[in-house]
A and B are shown apart, each in its own frame.
Chain A
């Protein structure tokens, strides 16, 4: 009855008994509330390439008896619109009516893992569309093929003459059968190879629709992880020491316990948890603990307490110039050292960036509910990585990972921060100590004071031009901390101390025969984490700053110089489009504003950006300029939902403006500025960090460019890295010295 499918796609109809395991053929049944068991259809799509994950087990869609199609969204919805865009991919290839599509988030199951993350359920690196779209596309095509075959059997005609329109199969003589009518007759094990069928007309992909969750986000009905705590589950806030890893000695918890509603005060090794019946009591209890003199002593770790971010940057500036100290080689092509040494016309500059924070606006959260008899726990959390939350919780509870079930919640912003959800391990330790459920929160101020940050970095870029003003040699050395070294130390060592997230953005697309690109890992005194754009945030800023300097050295316009070094039509196209949109080369503006240009290839996409910078009058406070507008030309391959792509680029560009102009965390003697609860002399928490407000944000105009690439590429981060170099390049064109440190303000 079941036979091996001739492609990597395997499917099954739901009226049969559950899984008969074949390597790529699945039978699966999904029972839904209210749906009859008889006609629920499951579409599984096999996946030949990967070893660890097993999406052939995964269910991607259910055709319901009434003809509606339930589509499973495998990615975390955190604002990027994955739920909408991924469902559009399957709806397109299945040729269903979009109005008949119901989207449900995938259950906690590594069958929905992403190969980029070793098959774990992680939504990050702008990779959800890149990874999942082919699977969803194949599942939809398989379903459509089976529907066509069912109709052909019914009408006793050849399949070749049939076509589909949304939600129905069309006979050449005008007869039609709806998907609802065909649902019971569909046999997915006998579906034709979708590759042999003419594809449906493009109706849903490349065509915008309002995002599915927009309405609930305007009424307060949308419920996020933080919102999921029932009234009978206590909430915990953590108090941490003045520097990372400081260990508490709780001398007296009397002050905290005196706050009505506080139910427990628990020392946890590197923190003290204040557990209370409601959020206000937890806040008050924590404040009381800080205020009570002598109630708490912190034993700091000497290295962490000595960390000074500016002094470290100064040391790294010397290190980065010492080419005798080598790091991980990202690219070696020709002989850059020799070419640089022999060049008559060369430039070398070092660029610094300081710590910044992703700072999502919803608190980090995890609600851990231990199961009876120590049989693991059930978890609800706003997370980018249910699989990593599971590991952290299992470790903290000293239990087996399979005993931890993580239910993902709607996420109030991530930007990389929730790949490593700090609240997960805290909640687990507290729940274990309490022997009952608890929700742990990291308020945004806690995240700033103690959470993960983007590393400081020093990037040294050197280049030589030949006699014709062409790029002849290039050397790029980045010194930075590593997130992989912190989270996966064994893997970091076996891969030669390489961290892809730190070398992201190091490789540029400009033609150059001799290149040497390196990454030197050096730890800082702060826990390093993923922040939107990751390494491109400092690497691209250095590259695109030097490229402008080289253009000046070559006596060429910044646009012409870039175009002269790019062979790829798609790259040249985005530069041309952004130049057109921004009025590049049109001459001086009447308001004294100037334009700055930058370009990169990142996440499979090509991006060119122009920043408009307007100087403010004498006596203006820093920064003494403003950035009224940004233009971005983006070739992201197939734009599944063009307006969602634009929204991602707009949003990342706003965050990039904050990083470029003003956002920074300084560290002296292990203490952050802005600091944490009770830290003396600290600029206060969230406001002290000065996150960018819409009032200060530039207007961002995004132009999508079709360069002929039919696969969707990454878009979540691509709006961020070019903002700083585009602004810096504009400042230089204003006659100011070349900026070499971020933030600029």
Chain B
């Protein structure tokens, strides 16, 4: 029997009795019932599995359950607040998602950047390059940029 590993999951204490070396994304999906976090490459390359670890974005295929022990994990299901609401509204208004598989990662990544950008507004290039680090096979990248630009009250992100 595996010893349970404790962490905070979307604000609630949670215990995971799994292999400590298990990537966090697989523990979330297979053992915590949180399938909102998706994965694709399992190499830390695509960014689809992005969650927040203590409020900072992390690619959860590269974080083990042991790494997350004792830390705060926020997934798309637990992403709340004014910024998250604003992003979601902008996503819907801008018809951003297509298949949607990467969109949890896009949003978690964007929400983290938005926190910084509220303090220090990015230029157009920074917007595109920073947001564009999460892969999307449907090609929604420019709509992601436009949606975040809308939340930041900008007119012409291009």
CA distance A279 to B98 in the complex (A): 26
Name B101-158 residues within 8 Å CB distance of A. Answer: 101-104, 107, 128-129, 131-145, 158
User: How many whole Å from A552's CB to the nearest CB in chain B?
Assistant: 32
CA gap between A361 and B48 in the complex, in Å: 9
C-alpha gap A224/B46 in the complex (Å)? 19
Contact status of A217 and B18, CB under 8 A, knowing A231-B30, A412-B38:
no
Tell me how far the C-beta of A589 lies from the nearest C-beta in chain B, rounded to whole angstroms. 16
Q: Is the beta-carbon distance between B88 and A218 smaller than 8 angstroms? A: yes
Asked if residues A220 and B92 are in contact (CB atoms below 8 Å), the reply is: no
A426 to B99, CA, bound (A): 24
B132 touches A685 (CB 8 A): no
CB of A21 within 8 Å of the partner chain = no
Any chain B CB within 8 A of the CB of A411? yes
Query: Which one of A210, A651, A655 lies within 8 Å of B92 (CB-CB)?
Result: A210
Q: Which residue of A lies closest to B33 (CB)?
A: A231
- In this assembly, does B40 line the interface, its C-beta being within 8 Å of a C-beta of chain A? yes
Residue of A nearest to B141 (CB): A694
A700 at the interface (CB under 8 A from B): yes
Q: Are B43 and A220 in contact (CB under 8 A)?
A: no
Check A694/B91 contact, CB under 8 A, given A280-B22, A652-B139: no
CB of A695 within 8 Å of the partner chain: yes
Determine whether the beta carbon of A362 is less than 8 Å from that of B99: yes
Distance (whole angstroms) from the CB of A506 to the closest CB of chain B:
26
> How many residues of B are counted as interface, with CB atoms below 8 angstroms from the partner's CB atoms?
58
Contacts of A210 in B (CB 8 A): 92-93, 95
Residue from the list A217, A231, A650 in contact with B139, Cβ < 8 A: A650
Does A79 reach chain B (CB closer than 8 Å)? yes
Task: Please tell me which one of the listed residues B27, B107, B134 contacts residue A218 in the complex, with CB atoms under 8 A apart.
Answer: B107
Binary flags per residue of A220-248, CB closer than 8 Å to B gives 1, else 0: 11111011000100000000000000000
User: Using Cβ atoms and an 8 Å threshold, which residues of chain B touch A359?
Assistant: 137
- Over the window 679-699 of chain A, the binary record of Cβ atoms lying under 8 Å from chain B Cβ atoms (1 yes, 0 no) is 000001111000101111101
| Complex Cα spacing A695 to B41, Å | 18
| Residue numbers in B under 8 Å from A80 (CB-CB) | 98
Residues of chain A within 8 A (CB-CB) of B158 are: 699
Closest B residue to A231 using CB positions = B30
Determine if A118 is an interface residue (Cβ-Cβ < 8 Å).
no
**Distance of A696 from chain B, by nearest CB (Å):** 8
Query: Do the beta carbons of B135 and A214 come within 8 Å of each other?
Result: no
Cross-chain contact of A217 among B41, B46, B100, B145 (Cβ < 8 A)? B100
* Interface pair A214/B91, CB less than 8 Å apart: yes
Taking each of B101, B128, B141, which has the highest tally of chain A beta carbons within 10 Å of its own beta carbon? B101
Does A653 sit at the interface, judged by CB under 8 A?
Answer: yes
Q: Quote the shortest CB–CB distance from B25 to chain A (angstroms).
A: 9
Given contacts A280-B19, A360-B137, A693-B135, contact A215 B98 (CB under 8 A): no
Decide yes or no: A215 and B92 within 8 Å by CB, A280-B30, A361-B135 being known contacts.
Answer: yes
**Which residues of B come within 8 Å of A, CB atoms?**
18-19, 22-23, 26-27, 29-31, 34-38, 40-43, 45-46, 48, 75-77, 87-88, 91-93, 95-104, 107, 128-129, 131-145, 158
9 extra A-B contacts, CB within 8 A, seeds A694-B144, A699-B158: A80-B98, A219-B36, A224-B38, A278-B26, A280-B19, A280-B23, A280-B30, A362-B101, A650-B140
| Interface residues in chain A, defined as those with a beta carbon under 8 Å from any beta carbon in chain B | 78-81, 208, 210-211, 213-224, 226-227, 231, 260-261, 278-281, 283-284, 359-363, 410-415, 443-445, 643-644, 647, 650-655, 684-687, 691, 693-697, 699-700
Question: What are 19 A-B residue pairs whose CB atoms fall within 8 Å in the complex?
Answer: A79-B98, A79-B100, A81-B95, A210-B93, A214-B96, A215-B92, A218-B88, A218-B91, A219-B76, A220-B76, A220-B104, A280-B19, A651-B98, A686-B43, A694-B136, A694-B144, A694-B145, A699-B142, A699-B158
